[in-house]
Amino acid sequence: MKYAVIKRVVIYARVSTEEQAENGYSIDAQLDILRNYCMATQAAVMDEYVDRGVSGKSIDGRYELQRLLKDAEESKFDEVIVWKFNRMARKNIDLLHIVEKLEKNNISFRSYSENFETSTPMGRFALQMMGAVGELERNTIIDNVKMGHRQRARMGFHNGKVPLGYTIVEGKGGSREAKTEVIIVEEEVAIVRYIFEQYAAGHGLKTIANDLNHRGRKTKNGKPFSTTAIRDLLDNPMFVGKIRYNQYENWAEKRRKGKGTDIILVDGHHPPIVSQELWDKVQLLRKKKGALPKKRFEGEYLLTGLIRCPECGAAMTASRTVNRSKDGEKITRMYYSCGRFRSQGSAVCHANSVRKVEAEQAVTERIQQAVTQPDILKKVVQSVNERRSGRIKPLRDELTAVQARIDKLEEKKRKYLELYEIDDIDRDMFSERLSLLNKDLDTELTRRSKLELDLRDDQADPVSLELVHDLMAKFDALLHHSPFQQRKTLMHLIVKKITLDDKKRVCSVDLAFNEETQKHFLSLAPSAENMAEGAFPFSGKASKLKHLFQITI
């Protein structure tokens, strides 16, 4: 007698805040459709993974998708089904990467609306084609939005946020382009003019930032001024009545490397803050100073960005002093100094400099001690496991509190629905209240997903002494045998932060190991035979770390 094998299926649903507001996409509608489909095909729904109010641009912040991928590694289901393939990812390359992870664990991917699944060659082909079409559609929409922004800019209207000195209000004009208006904020104007006047008088970026911070002035975001903030203000032509657009393209991905080739610079409809004469003088000085050679520090700084200032906790950066001895010989001393002090001045923090050689020696010795002295490493591993177990109760308590808030919000939604059904509340008020409740509910549900993911990692098997010793030994060997660039790469991959005490001595070194760092960098100690120039030594298959874990030495 033959028994039918019931397919184990999980449902994934996602909607971003913008999609829900603009297109009316509904998580509940997606779930209802997929549940009914599974019931009709007699598939067993093992779980549902729902990311609410989250963009599909990347996996970051999508805790339910992360949980799904972890469950896939444990083969908890046979198929993932979505309403549309773009619920899983917006970019074709991300979609294919996720599907590849599923296929490695013999899990197929099915789209209900597009009617395909990846267990067959034709299904995989359809996925690739539809993914490419979906990305083309998304890019076309983005281009159309950018076209509208470019047209607004050419007409002298501002796009996006405004800098210090301005704010946006509802426009008085009847045209579509003039629906918002940029006006001056008087209390901020004085700061902007002061910055321009001080720079025109010959003061540097750090001097101006330091002076403003001592006076308690803040940027548009309410933060202390930095050299970068001052520079961006001085380079913004909006203050002289101009609109500049398309200076950078794809800022979120390329940052300043995405320099635009078709920069728009036209007269704007907003009032200027600085005079043309002052602007021209400042730009002349900016151009002259920009042509000066940059300061260059001799030597190799291994720990930049990793050492934390003992006073404010900011990352410390490279610095040096040059003095002359009694016989006239030049003496260069290299340090790590507080990055906030170097950028924002003494109003925010102090230099708190620590000698480069001493800091790097202390860190490498601390790592070596953990390898060569078993008692130290044993205490470290014991501390890691105790800390992991100690985190569980607070996480569970917070999860209970979050679930209570979710239940309360669901109850409120039910009551408003009852009031609406008996005509005790008008449609507009009901819609407004429901929108606010759904927004709060999405926040709490996302928080619950993150807590469940954190709890899952913390309840994993205890970290073994042998595993930590093996990782530390290989890390230490690489640090002693690799050239500088590889050592710096390793440091930034594995060291989370280095803390100094109040006497500016290395207090603790926080390390983080995960599957990728172990697989690609700590699989084998270096040797002359396999050491290719510019490459990390690697051969054979590394053991697999299932979870990220951190240790402090």
Q: What DSSP designation does 456 have?
A: H
Look-up of token digits 């997606």: 30
- Which strand (E) or helix (H) includes residue 355? strand 354-355
The three-class DSSP label of residue 534 is coil
Bridge-based pairing of strands 307-308 and 495-500 is parallel
Burial of 4 (0-12, 13-18, 19+ CB in 10 A): exposed
Output the DSSP codes for 187-256. Answer: HHHHHHHHHHHHHHTT--HHHHHHHHHHTT---TTS----HHHHHHHHT-GGGGTEEEE-SBSSHHHHGG
Q: What are the beta bridge partners of residue 497? A: 510
d(CA 233, CA 214): 19
546: number of Cβ within 10 Å: 13
Distance CA 128, CA 145 (A): 26
Q: Would you state the structure tokens that stand for residue 305, as one six-digit string?
A: 């960005």
One-letter amino acid at 21 equals A
Question: Of 16, 111, 319, 353, which is the active-site residue?
Answer: 16
CB contact set of 8 (below 8 Å; sequence gap of 6+): 43, 44, 46, 76, 77, 78, 79
Looking at residue 503, what DSSP letter applies? T
CA distances from 163 to 168, 186, 316, 423 (A): 10, 13, 28, 47
Q: How far apart are the first and last CA of the chain?
A: 62
> Are 177 and 186 within 8 A, CB to CB?
no
**What is the Cα–Cα distance from 515 to 73, expressed in whole angstroms?**
13
Report residue 300 CA to chain centroid gap.
28
Single-letter residue type at 219: T
- H-helix or E-strand spanning residue 184: strand 180-184
- Asked about 108 being catalytic, the answer comes back as no
Burial class (CB in 10 A: 0-12, 13-18, 19+), 407: exposed
334 forms bridges with which residues in the sheet? Answer: 320
- For residue 274, the tally of other CB atoms under 10 A from its CB is 21
Residues 36/106, Cβ–Cβ less than 8 Å: no
Distance CA 372, CA 375 (A): 9
Residue 207's contacts (CB-CB under 8 Å, 6 or more residues apart) are: 198, 345
C-alpha 183/C-alpha 269 separation (Å) is: 10
Bridge partners, residue 320, by sequence: 334
Q: List residues with catalytic annotation.
A: 16
